[in-house]
Amino acid sequence: MSVKRVLQYGEKSLREPSKEVHKVSKKIQELVRDLLDTMYAKNGVGMAAPQIGENVRVFVVDVSKNDEPLNPIVFINPKIIKKSGAIVAQEGCISFPEAYTDVKRYANVMVKALDRHGRPFVLEAKDGELLARAIQHENDHLDGVLFIDHCVNRFETDEILAKHNLPPIEPEKLADDSEIDKELSK
């Protein structure tokens, strides 16, 4: 459909929780196409509806590599139903141009959602692979949570944000990652 403007960190609606989708309508189908077009245009691996100003529970992910055919996965009303393990990895976000920092994530997740046609599916992503991290990252967007809320080092992350002229971390938004911390300390 079209490439949309991506909201940047600091814009209020990135912090707002998204509403459930009640019907996979033509409007939702169009939103999915816009998300995919925008994600591919920005060379991202994921894009959530709030990032283009639509606060509904929809995101897309494509972790295919350069030499592989595109393999987009659409998640409507996703719910992470199982999570385990832990990993620290560097993440970035299209809403934070050029800013990357180490974040804590679950290594394994199982998610249930609806596909672009409204059919339910369950997907498991394991071993801290990009797909597992991308699902968590994009799902967080639907709750107004950003990747920096899971940062390993708040002060280092603030320096990275400042270097890219982005606002500092909001300390009250930092995630309670105690379960992940417990896993990491094993």
Of the candidates 181, 46, 171, 169, the residue with the CA atom closest to the CA atom of residue 106? 181
115-153 CB burial, b ≥16 within 10 A, e <16: ebeeeeeebebeebeebbbbbbbbbbbbebbbbbbbbbe
Owner of token pair 């967080």: 140
Q: Which of 13, 123, 143 is nearest to 61 (CA)?
A: 123
**Conformation bin of residue 103: beta by default, left when phi > 0, alpha when psi is -120 to 50:** beta
**Residue linked to tokens 């189908």:** 29
- Our answer to whether residue 170 is catalytic in this structure is no
d(CA 50, CA 141): 7
CA 105 to CA 133: how far, in whole Å?
7
Task: Tell me which of 91, 124, 129, 138 is the catalytic residue.
Answer: 138
What positions carry a catalytic annotation?
Answer: 138
